[in-house]
Amino acid sequence: MENKLSTPEGDKNIQMADNSFSDGVPSDSTEAAKNTSNAEKLTDQVMQNPQVLAALQERLDSVSHTPSSYIETLPKAVKRRINALKQLQVKCAHIEAKFYEEVHDLERKYAALYQPLFDKRREFITGDVEPTDAESEWHSDDEEEEKLAGDMKSKLVTDEKEEAAAEEPTPRGIPEFWFTIFRNVDMLSELVREYDEPILKHLQDIKVKFSDPGQPMSFVLEFHFEPNDYFTNSVLTKTYKMKSEPDKADPFSFEGPEIVDCDGCTIDWKKGKNVTVKTVRKKQKHRGRGTVRTITKQVPSESFFNFFSPLKASGDGESLDEDSEFTLASDFEIGHFFRERIVPRAVLYFTGEAIEDDDNFEEGEEGEEEVRAAAGHGVARVALSWPEGGSPRAVGR
C-alpha cells in the first residue's frame, strides 16, 4: 500500500491556510475592543454632563420617594393602624352618601316652590298671559342711554296714522325663546342640524321633575311642544338615573351622586317627517341577467332628536368601547346642564348674560364641568358634586 508523504509544496499551503485563519481571529477581537472603548468614552462624556446627572438624580428621587414606597417601609403595626383609618374613611363615604340623599330631598322640596314661577314664565313666553307694568319693570345699566334715545325719538315729527298703518303686528309672547337658547349655547347648538330648527321653534317649555320620595334617585327632563307638523307627541321625555353610594370595589372614589344611566322616549313621527333617519338609494346589478334595479333604505341621520334615543350603559360587567363611553358621558353632562343651568336660568341664556358669566370661569377653576369615561368600570358616569357656595357640577368619572 502506497504511503502519501507530504511535500514541501503541500506544507507551504497548509502553513498559508493556518496563517489566514490565525490572522482573522486577532482582527475581530481588535474591532470589538475598539467598539467597547468608544462606548466607554461616550458613556464617560455623558456622565460628566451636569444636566444629564441632574435629570437622572431627579428620576431616582421621584422613584424612591413615592407615597407607596414610603408606606412599604413602615412597620407592620403602623400599616395595621393605616388599615383602620381606611375603614373609617369608608364609613365617612357612606355618611356622605346619606348627606347627598338628603340634599336630593331638599331639591325636590324647593323644586315645588320654583314651579309656580316657572309656570308663569311659560305663560309669558307663549303669550297666554301678558305681564303687568309692575312685572315688566326692570332697571338696567343702560337705563340712562335708553332714556336719552327715547327723548330724541319723541322729538321726531311723524304722522301717527301712517306709522300705525306701517307698523307690524306685535308678536305673541317671546317668539323662538327656547330655540334661541339652543342657538346661543355651544353645547346644544353642536347637536342641532338645520332640519331640526323648524321643529325646535315649536318648543314651548322644558321642565325638570325629581323622583318621588322612597324611589330610586333620578330626574326627568320634559320637553313640551305645541302642535306641529312633525310628530304627535306633546311632551318628549328623557330620564336620568342616579346613584348615591360608594362603589364597593373603589369606595374612595365617591364624590357625590352619579348619573349612571338614562332612558329616552318614543317619538311618534308623522309620515315623512322623521329627521333622525334619511333615505338613501342604491343601484344593484343582477349577476345572472345583468339587469339593474334601484333599492332604497333608511339609515340613521345626525339630529338633536337622537337625544331621546340614548346609548344604554353597559351592564353585567360588559365594557363599552372608548367612543361609546365618551358619547354616554357627554349625554349625561348635557342632561345635567339642562337640569342645573338651562331650566333654572333660562332667560339669562336667552339674553346671553349667563353665557358671558360661564366664559369668565377659567379652565381648572372649581365649578368646571368635565366629561371623562369611567376607566376600568365599563360604563360612563357623571358625578355631581357641590362646590362651596355653588350648585352641583358634573364631573366625569
In a domain? residue 377: no
Q: Which helix (H) or strand (E) holds 161?
A: helix 160-166
What integer pLDDT is reported at residue 61 of this predicted model?
Answer: 64
Q: Which helix (H) or strand (E) holds 334?
A: helix 322-337
**Which residue matches cell numbers 333599492?**
295
**Which residue matches cell numbers 490572522?**
23
Who contacts 356 (Cβ-Cβ below 8 Å, separation ≥6)? none
In a domain? residue 340: yes
Number of Cβ within 10 Å of residue 174's Cβ equals 15
**CATH number (domain holding residue 178):** 3.30.1120.90
In a domain? residue 263: yes
Q: Is the dihedral of CA 188, 336, 388, 366 positive or negative?
A: negative
Who contacts 296 (Cβ-Cβ below 8 Å, separation ≥6)? 279, 280, 281, 282
Between strands 235-243 and 277-285, the pairing is: unpaired
Walk along the chain (397 residues) in steps of 10 and give the mean pLDDT of each run.
Answer: 46 46 51 64 68 68 68 88 93 92 91 96 96 90 60 56 62 96 96 97 97 91 98 97 88 87 96 92 75 82 95 69 87 95 96 80 45 39 48 44
Strand partners, 292: 285
Q: Are 219 and 242 in contact (CB under 8 A)?
A: yes
Number of Cβ within 10 Å of residue 111's Cβ equals 17
Domain count, the chain: 1
Q: What is each CA distance from 168 to 157, 160, 165, 175, 366, in whole angstroms?
A: 20, 14, 8, 15, 48
What integer pLDDT is reported at residue 293 of this predicted model?
Answer: 79
Query: What gap in Å lies between CA 387 and CA 266, rounded to an integer?
Result: 36
In a domain? residue 142: no
Who contacts 255 (Cβ-Cβ below 8 Å, separation ≥6)? 383, 385, 395, 397
Query: What gap in Å lies between CA 328 and CA 318, rounded to an integer?
Result: 15
Q: What is each CA distance from 372 to 153, 321, 331, in whole angstroms?
A: 55, 13, 11
Grid cell at residue 359: 366664559
Query: What gap in Å lies between CA 395 and CA 384, rounded to an integer?
Result: 6
What integer pLDDT is reported at residue 14 of this predicted model?
Answer: 42
In a domain? residue 337: yes
pTM of the complete model: 0.69
Q: Shortest CA distance to 358 belongs to which of 384, 328, 393?
A: 393
In a domain? residue 121: yes
Strand partners, 238: 221
What integer pLDDT is reported at residue 249 of this predicted model?
Answer: 86
What integer pLDDT is reported at residue 285 of this predicted model?
Answer: 73
Which domain does 124 fall in, by range?
Answer: 99-130+173-271+305-313+322-351
Number of Cβ within 10 Å of residue 30's Cβ equals 10
Q: What is the DSSP letter of 392?
A: -
In a domain? residue 229: yes
Q: What is each CA distance from 214 to 77, 81, 218, 263, in whole angstroms?
A: 44, 38, 11, 20
